[in-house]
Amino acid sequence: MGHLRGKLLPPALAIVFSMLLCGVALVISGANPLSAFGAMVTQVGKGSTLVDIVNSTGIYYIAALAVAIGFQMNLFNIGVEGQYRVAAVIAAVVGGSIALPPGIHTLVIIVVAALAGAAWAAIPAILKVTRGVNEVISTIMMNGLAIGLSAYLIRRDVFGELRGNNIRTAEIPESGWMPGISFGGGGTMFGFIFVAIALGVGYWVMMNKTRFGFELRASGESSTAASAGGVNAKKMVLVSMLLSGAIAGLISLPELLGRDHTFSLNFTAGIGFSGIAIALLGRNHPGGIAFGALLWAFLDKSGLALDNVGVPREIVTIMQGSIVLSVVVAYEVVRRFELAAEQRRVGRELGTVGGAA
Amino acid sequence: MSSSTSARTDDPPAVVLTGITKRFPGVVANSDVHLTVRRGEVHALCGENGAGKSTLMKILYGMQPPDEGTIEVNGEQVRFRTPSDAIKAGIGMVHQHFMLADNLTVQENVVLGAEALHGIGQKARKRIIELSGKTGLNVDPGVLVEQLGVADRQRVEILKVLYRGAKVIILDEPTAVLVPQEVNELFDTVRGMQEQGYTFLFISHKLDEVRAIADSVTVIRRGTTVGSADPKTVSSRQLAEMMVGSELPSPETRESTVTDKVVLDVRGLKLMTPDGSRPILDDVDLVVRSGEVVGIAGVEGNGQTELVETVMGMRKAGSGTITLLDADLTKLGTLARREAGIGYVPEDRHRHGLLLTQPLWYNRILGYQTRKPTSKGIWLDTDGAKKDTERIVADFDVRTPGIDVPAAALSGGNQQKLVVGRELSGDPKLLIASHPTRGVDVGAQALIWDEIKRARAAGLAVLLISADLDELIGLSDTIKVMLRGRLVADADPNTVTPEDLGSAMTGAGATSASVQETGTAHGTAVVEEGAN
Amino acid sequence: ACAKDSGGGSNNGSAGTGAACEFAEAPSAPATSNTSAANGDKVDASALKIGLAYDIGGRGDASFNDSAAAGLDKAIADMGVKKENTRELSAAPNEDESAKQTRLRQLASEGFNPIIGVGFAYAESLKVVAPEFPNVKFGLVDSAVEGATNVTPLLFAEQEGSFLAGVIAAYQSKKCHVGFVGGVEIPLIQKFEAGYVQGATTAAPKVKVEKKYITPAGDFTGFQDAPKGQEAAKGQIDKGADVIYQAAGASGKGIFSAAKQANALAIGVDSDQYNQATVADTKDVIVSSMLKRVDVAVYNFVKAVAKNDLASLPKVFDLKVNGVGYSTSGGKIDAKLQGILEGYKAQIIEGKIQVKDKP
Amino acid sequence: MITTMEEKPHVPAAPRKRKIPGWAVGVLGVAGAIVLLSTTSYMTGFPQLTSSGTTQTAVRLALPILLAGLGGLWAERAGVVNIGLEGMMIMGTWGAAWAGYQWGPWAAVVAAVVFGALGGLLHAIATVTFGVNHIVSGVAINLLGAGLTKYLSTLIFLPLSNNPRQSPPVTPFDTYSAAGFADWLGELEAGQRVFISDVAGILRGLVTGVSPLTMLAILLLPLSYYLLWRTRFGLRLRSVGENPHAADSLGVKVYFHKYVAVIVSGGLAGLGGAALVLNPGQLSYLEGQTGGRGYIGLAAMIFGNWRPGGLLGGAALFGYADGLQLRSGGETVLGLVYGVVILLGVIVVWQLVRRKWFSAAAAIVVAVLLYLLYVSLDEIPSEFVSYAPHMVTLAVLAVASQRLRMPAADGLVYRRG
Ligand SMILES: Nc1ncnc2c1ncn2[C@@H]1O[C@H](COP(=O)(O)OP(=O)(O)OP(=O)(O)O)[C@@H](O)[C@H]1O
Ligand SMILES: Nc1ncnc2c1ncn2[C@@H]1O[C@H](COP(=O)(O)OP(=O)(O)OP(=O)(O)O)[C@@H](O)[C@H]1O
Ligand SMILES: [Mg+2]
Ligand SMILES: [Mg+2]
């Protein structure tokens, strides 16, 4: 029970602290924090917000999983941002240019997206393994190039088509869509959410039950001990980067298969960076990440209500930042507190068993 | 001022520790420790692994605050909040694990924190060179520490202490990594400085050394002082009994179990430095038979580490073949070599042996992630791993509150027992043991020796690397001397003495009949070295 | 000797040399410039609750969001719309479709009608939301939505205005060498480029035109990186261009600055930038601005809704309806040039010149 | 009894030939780069490659990157990874604008440093005092920096500029030129003589239109070097990044030095923000104006092997390639491809001399591919041109041997005891 407390107390503390902080900021700017937070909470019940939160949670969840795989072995894959962009545009191009029976079509798009993400991640991975190039730099650079590539691919004279002032890839025919669950006015939940859940379960099983997960964790913990234990460091870098890239490739599929059916200028960017924060918030644990993704999505979507009550929406970003920071601080504080308690306990035991020692 | 009137007649002791208690989560490292160190003496501290020696010394050095108890230095009660307080009081410490920044130069490491004395420039450099003579360090102060061998690092550590003008010097297991000659040099330095009025606190698991250097001995057991002894009269055996209450073990294994069956056959092994300029391993030929312990003697840095890591597949050989029981391992990776039947006790358990923040049972899987009982196919078998860890904990007397504690929470000796236990599981054909008892107390040492001997009797081939020459001579059936990447001499463990071995290791040449130079005379090696 | 650089122009581009253009024969100006001025009938729109959903930047962006806001303000002033009956929301960078949908739904379900989406980014969300609120009249700036009968597209012929900007550039250039700096290479901005290039080459067939976009499609930082805009413009000036037309949002500031430092000229975009506070320090280099009257479109849309006469709105806000145009503030456009411009304008309105909307 | 050992038998310790001092390596590197560029410029006929305009542009574009990277250098030398540079830079931009429109450019500089340093302080509190994972804290600070400045802008700038995303204009610095010298160089450059004109062009770019902020940044680089490598404070700071336990055991105040380093780091990143705000083309705060330059600064610092000289190289490379593509577009960038081919050629020869056949072969293959690219294209598609700096950085990293060495305790959380 104390175990559980140690896990749940910190986030709770952190959220309270962040709300206080933002409350103060709101008061300074002359707004009423209670009405602001109230608006955010009631927003959940309005229109399709609840479903939007669920959808967005799924997307963030996939992104954070992709990041977490790299983190597990101390690989800092900042490149998720670029990987999912490249995967999205390639999957959209391929999906829009083939005709296959329903189901198979969708499956092909998913596979293509995963492969494209993995391929984009393979470049920094190979550079790291063969040339020792630091993955932080190379993935930052690859993110830039990803935008270039996607811009090139949707050029009118390449795969793009003009639509008003927008430009986009050919629409994926209905056989390639993934049906969602419609709640009428409440919006439509992406079918891909279930894939996200499956990915989370798969991630948990992989990390905790398989040899590969063991090797990944061992490499992250101590690359020297892992190599003495027969773990091939280069192979692990390669495989985990590819895996991370493949999962990153799926990030945009909920929207692509469930709503947009095309890659256009309206592409949702920035999920890869949110994924970093969420993975860290969830401490690379599939459950923790789910919580982090949900929190993130809630703040994002219900934050839209702030406009209605005349409160600057930036408060949400501040809240996200302060939650990330205060959650980890809270974990540390609670840890220290428990350590001290343990020390006192030992002291007491020494007092009673002192004679025997 | 007023309180010391009574002590004025006699010199106050250099250090008095009274009633020191220190608690860590789950452990009481020190409980009511009392210790008095007279000025100008070498005072030894003995105790089992995890007895609390290092902790006590860290308290004296201001690195950790005591929960209870007082410290007096030169009769004055002091309270150290940081090491700088202790340094100001004239206390210096050489840590068991080197406290050096690899990527800084010797000079930078020495002057760090004491820049006020002579700055960080030429004056400091002069002073270091001046002091170097005292410790026998003869390297350019501008050289990076990462390029130094262990003995030189040890000297840099002592230099750091001297540079600060410490009068009380703590040496925490300084000899664990030194060969006898180097130990002698160190002891000479210590004695010389003792005459100049320095006081030493000396920790070692090698009780002969303790008796050789110390003026008085304090024994610590399970965190408390259990007594003191006069090193002139006490025997190692008695000391050990005070420490653990058991008999002093010996590594001797006279009855030979060597068979004809070749287990490991290494031929023409070559390894170059990463920049390709020099060989680290030069044409090494080595055969280990079933039931045989082959010991490799050598000053650290002569290629033993690289030999072991090349045989393990952690480094890629330039040329040569490695065969294990007719299976050619040359092209295989580390995991495949392990699966072929090699067990590996690495020289640095923290770097190569353990995942420190993971529980003990998780560490059991490392290196065995493809084999029973820790895995089934691609799946881990956590139950199997846990059960087998319980077995190791019981069989190897690993002192731990449970198998779910992180490996870091164990003291060094117990960590080592866990590693040895793991590497002897899974029925290895060959065990490569690098310094298997380094930093391990006498009790644990005996246990590890016994286990190695038992496995050897059952047909295990053992390649043993050790800086502890008694251990090497006692355990080995054959000893080979390694110098500059070559196996330059064979020694007969039945007749050779540590001193003979030591001089062969340093390249001073064979001084005894029991050390035979091998085919490629090492004189040639020297010539070639010169030609490089 | 280290000397302080004087206020500007000390290092004017010495690169390319050239003489002023040889111009094609310019069409003559029509006798009367028939600007279809807003007919003065009074409309009462006080019953309307108007919602505006801006694109990234929102009110105050000194660009087309602001222009839309000006239209709303005018509607409040002229047609009796009550300030408290209006609501303005704006998009955040990197938000997804559902955020846009929620914004539109929020407005619609609170009874706002009409609702105007400012920017083509709202096209996809309106496709979803508009059918959910069939009684609400939506306006959409810069895009159309197929099949949604209650969405009125408010489209502009940016290329026509840009054509005139090209003519201005050619006539203002002393070296017959002009430049175009776009913010992000998206179709909307390419319309500006296409019209500009056509205009310049029509006026002076031998003119050299430099073109550069700060970032490609998808990287929207190109609209807010003035330092990069400055360097891009400097590059063009060093190559010899001496009039630069910018369609680069907030990066435009850097382009004006580059022009000022090198004694070159610049042409603004969207609104009359000569009178804009944010670029006041460089306004003397602004010859003219290509006007895109989002304010007019918004105002007229509100008016049409109030009169329940959406059919009266033009299909495209072009030169003919003064939906696009050019500004003359600053006095650099003399009567002669104005005459030439009116001539070209008339030809475009008459259809004698077809302006391309793709480069 | 004591065997004196004349020679140390420790194998890996054999004295490495490290006779060439760091500054000489730098000089050689710069000279090599100039030779490479002027050769390329000559062979491809693109004088822009070495024109003074390009150089000036490179300086202006590299400045914020350099300052952010310098910030990264300070933090990481003390063992704190600073991925929060972007956020600190954003805080700096806001501070610079806020002070700048009221009290002029110097106030802007000071305020930017203070605001950035506040970000640094937060990072230090989180990572040093609370032992938070450095990356978590950095990511959080990036979010906070963005959120806070947006919020403050709505509060403070909106009433003044009618725009919640932009500040009122700030007064710029005057710029300075070495008048006579620059003119003479200008003549040389205009002469279009091989190499001489190239060097003159580059030099002229460096001595014209220099703002005090540029000078300050250029000074900060050697100053940082001096402080970090030549003073006792610097020694302590670096020791904390290499082995905090050792430092602590010698009485070095680990937490204090980490705090100082991270706060300075934030201040420098903030100054990078000021460089953006005070850029003559900008002269105001604009939301999103940093555009990821903090990350690029971090990359430049890693590129430069955690050293000031290398960092300068990384920032210059990035600024140069970016300036080139912005000014001259696709065909000139293609010229850079040619330059890479030449560079690879040199490497092939070098690898052949060292008898590294495999590396040589790989280099030949890449060189041939790039050469084919060069001759087959007239111009690189504009979509990729914008990312020329990214491609060049990747290419250089892939080609250059990786002897990168980060501080040994970089990114590790240190707890006393
Ligand atoms: N920082 C710490 N946190 C928790 N436990 C600790 C810490 N330091 C020491 N301990 C525990 O305190 C006990 C005493 O450790 P100490 O290092 O003093 O032993 P030692 O006598 O030096 O052993 P060895 O001979 O192995 O060096 C051990 O059980 C160890 O695990
Ligand atoms: N934070 C910690 N938590 C738990 N155990 C710790 C911690 N720090 C150190 N220890 C353990 O306490 C013991 C004492 O650490 P110390 O650094 O003094 O090494 P030592 O006792 O000299 O180690 P060794 O015997 O391995 O050479 C070690 O076994 C170490 O693993
Ligand atoms: Mg110890
Ligand atoms: Mg120990």
- Contact between chains at B344 and A228 (C-beta distance less than 8 A): yes
Higher pLDDT, A233 or B252: A233
Residues of A with CB under 8 A from a CB of B: 208-215, 217-218, 221-222, 224-232, 339, 342-343, 346-347, 350, 354, 357
How far separated are the first and last CA of chain D, in Å rounded? 41
A48 part of a folded domain: no
- Contact between chains at C93 and A270 (C-beta distance less than 8 A): yes
- Contact between chains at B338 and A230 (C-beta distance less than 8 A): yes
When mean pLDDT is compared across A320-329, B265-274, B514-523, C104-113, the lowest value belongs to B514-523
Closest chain D residue to the Cα of B188, Cα to Cα: D2
Residue C10 confidence (pLDDT) above 50: no
Please give the full DSSP string across C84-125, using - where no structure is assigned: GGEEEEE--TT--HHHHHHHHHHHHHTT-BSEEE-SGGGHHH
Facing residue for B149 by CB, picked from D10, D405, D407: D10
A99 part of a folded domain: yes
D391 & D374 share domain: yes
D82 & D220 share domain: yes
D378 & D239 share domain: no
When mean pLDDT is compared across B22-36, B316-330, C141-155, C309-323, the lowest value belongs to B22-36
Facing residue for A151 by CB, picked from C143, C188, C217: C217
- Contact between chains at A304 and C103 (C-beta distance less than 8 A): yes
Distance in Å, CA B205 to ligand 4 centroid? 9
Q: Of ligand 2's atoms, which has the minimum distance to the CA of residue B172?
A: 22
- The full length of chain B comes to 532
Residue C291 confidence (pLDDT) above 50: yes
D139 & D63 share domain: yes
Last residue of a domain, one of D308, D328, D348: D328
For the stretch B517-532, pLDDT in tens is 665 444 333 333 333 3
Distance in Å, CA B222 to ligand 3 centroid? 13
Residue C139 confidence (pLDDT) above 90: yes
- pLDDT band at residue D190 under the 50/70/90 scheme: confident
D194 part of a folded domain: no
D349 part of a folded domain: yes
Residues of D with CB under 8 A from a CB of B: 1-3, 5, 7-16, 230-232, 235-236, 238-239, 242-243, 245-253, 354, 405, 407-408, 417
Are B308 and B434 in contact by the 8 Å Cβ rule? The answer is yes
Q: Which one of A167, A324, A335, A337 would you mutate to disrupt binding with D, by most D Cβ within 10 Å of its Cβ?
A: A324
For the stretch D111-145, pLDDT in tens is 999 999 999 999 999 999 988 889 889 989 999 99
D412 part of a folded domain: no
Where are the extended beta strands (E) located within B82-238? 91-94, 168-172, 199-203, 216-221, 224-229
- The full length of chain A comes to 357
Q: Of ligand 1's atoms, which has the minimum distance to the CA of residue B413?
A: 26
- pLDDT band at residue A294 under the 50/70/90 scheme: very high
D6 part of a folded domain: no
**C208 lies within 8 A of chain D by CB:** no
Name every residue whose Cβ is closer than 8 Å to that of residue B440 and which is 6 or more positions away in sequence.
B49, B205, B412, B413, B416, B417, B448
Highest-pLDDT range among B31-45, D19-33, D35-49: B31-45
Residue C13 confidence (pLDDT) above 60: no
Query: What 3-state DSSP class applies to D37?
Result: helix
Residue D105 confidence (pLDDT) above 90: yes
Chain C, 54 to 93: residues with Cβ < 8 Å from chain A are 87, 89-90, 92-93
Last residue of a domain, one of D328, D352, D379: D328
How far away is chain C from the Cα of D190, in angstroms, using its nearest Cα?
9
* CATH number for A196: 1.10.3470
Closest residue by Cα to residue C157 from C359, C352, C10, C348: C348
**Cα B513 off chain centre by:** 29
Question: Which domain covers residue D247, as residue numbers?
Answer: 45-175+210-328
| Averaged pLDDT for residues C260-283 | 90
- pLDDT band at residue D3 under the 50/70/90 scheme: very low
D297 & D374 share domain: no
For the stretch A61-84, pLDDT in tens is 999 999 999 998 888 888 999 999
Closest residue by Cα to residue A176 from A269, A285, A259: A259
Are D214 and D176 in contact by the 8 Å Cβ rule? The answer is no
D59 & D157 share domain: yes
Pocket of ligand 2, candidates B54, B63, B351: which has the most ligand atoms within 8 Å of its Cβ, to mutate? B54
d(CA C173, CA D147): 44
Pocket of ligand 1, candidates B27, B93, B95, B442: which has the most ligand atoms within 8 Å of its Cβ, to mutate? B27
Higher pLDDT, A242 or C26: A242
- Contact between chains at A232 and B333 (C-beta distance less than 8 A): yes
Hey, what domains does chain B have and what are their CATH numbers? 2-244 (3.40.50.300), 249-341+428-532 (3.40.50.300), 348-426 (no CATH)
Closest residue by Cα to residue D388 from D73, D147, D152, D49: D49
**C257 lies within 8 A of chain D by CB:** yes
* pLDDT, mean over chain D: 84
d(CA B330, CA B335): 13
Number of structural domains (chain D) is: 2
- Contact between chains at A211 and B370 (C-beta distance less than 8 A): yes
The Cα-based distances of A203 to A62, B263, D17 in angstroms read: 10, 42, 49
**Quick one: what percent of chain A has pLDDT higher than 70?**
94
Alpha helices (H) along D45-84: 52-77
Number of structural domains (chain A) is: 1
Residue C27 confidence (pLDDT) above 80: yes
When mean pLDDT is compared across C75-79, C290-294, D352-356, the lowest value belongs to D352-356
D308 & D391 share domain: no
Distance in Å, CA B54 to ligand 1 centroid? 7
* CATH number for D136: 1.10.3470
D188 part of a folded domain: no
- Contact between chains at B334 and A228 (C-beta distance less than 8 A): yes
Alpha helices (H) along D45-133: 52-77, 85-103, 105-124
D34 part of a folded domain: no
D171 part of a folded domain: yes
How far away is chain A from the Cα of B378, in angstroms, using its nearest Cα?
5
Sign of torsion over alpha carbons A39, A40, A44, A49: positive
Facing residue for D246 by CB, picked from B101, B181, B188: B101
Distance in Å, CA A280 to ligand 2 centroid? 28
Distance in Å, CA B203 to ligand 3 centroid? 8
D280 & D302 share domain: yes
Are D174 and D280 in contact by the 8 Å Cβ rule? The answer is no
The Cα-based distances of B158 to A347, B54, B197, D160 in angstroms read: 36, 17, 16, 66
Residue D53 confidence (pLDDT) above 60: yes
Q: How many CB pairs under 8 A join A and D?
A: 140
For C355, the token pair is 């302006």
Residue A347 confidence (pLDDT) above 50: yes
D305 & D341 share domain: no
d(CA B396, CA B474): 21
A341 part of a folded domain: no
Query: A-chain residues within 8 Å CB-CB of B25?
Result: 339, 342-343, 346
Pairing of strands C50-54, C86-90: parallel
D277 & D294 share domain: yes
Q: Which one of C64, C90, C98, C145 would you mutate to disrupt binding with A, by most A Cβ within 10 Å of its Cβ?
A: C98
Where are the extended beta strands (E) located within B64-158? 68-73, 76-78, 91-94
* Separate counts of helices (H) and strands (E) for chain B: 18, 23
Does chain C touch chain B (at least 3 C-beta pairs within 8 Å)?
A: no
d(CA B161, CA B184): 20
D124 & D260 share domain: yes
pTM for the structure as a whole: 0.88
Chain B: list its partners (3+ Cβ pairs within 8 Å). A, D
The Cα-based distances of C83 to A111, C48, C74, C298, D292 in angstroms read: 53, 10, 11, 16, 39
Question: Which domain covers residue A80, as residue numbers?
Answer: 55-331
Q: What is the pLDDT of residue C31?
A: 66
- In order along its 532 residues, chain B shows pLDDT tens digits of 433 333 334 678 889 999 999 887 767 888 889 999 998 899 999 887 778 888 899 999 988 889 889 999 988 899 988 888 898 888 999 887 788 988 899 999 999 988 888 888 888 888 888 888 777 777 788 888 887 777 788 888 888 888 888 889 999 888 877 777 778 888 888 888 888 888 999 988 778 888 888 999 998 887 888 888 888 888 777 777 777 655 555 555 556 777 788 888 988 888 887 766 678 888 889 999 988 899 998 877 788 888 999 999 888 888 888 988 888 888 888 999 998 889 999 988 888 889 888 888 999 999 898 888 888 888 989 899 999 999 999 988 888 878 888 888 777 788 888 999 999 888 889 999 998 887 777 778 888 888 888 888 888 899 999 877 888 888 888 899 888 888 888 888 888 887 788 778 776 655 566 677 665 444 333 333 333 3
D285 part of a folded domain: yes
Among all bound ligands, the one having the nearest atom to the CA of B28 is 1
A38 part of a folded domain: no
Last residue of a domain, one of D282, D300, D328: D328
Distance in Å, CA B412 to ligand 2 centroid? 7
Q: What is the pLDDT of residue B509?
A: 59
Q: Which one of A224, A284, A339 would you mutate to disrupt binding with B, by most B Cβ within 10 Å of its Cβ?
A: A224
Q: What is the pLDDT of residue A52?
A: 93
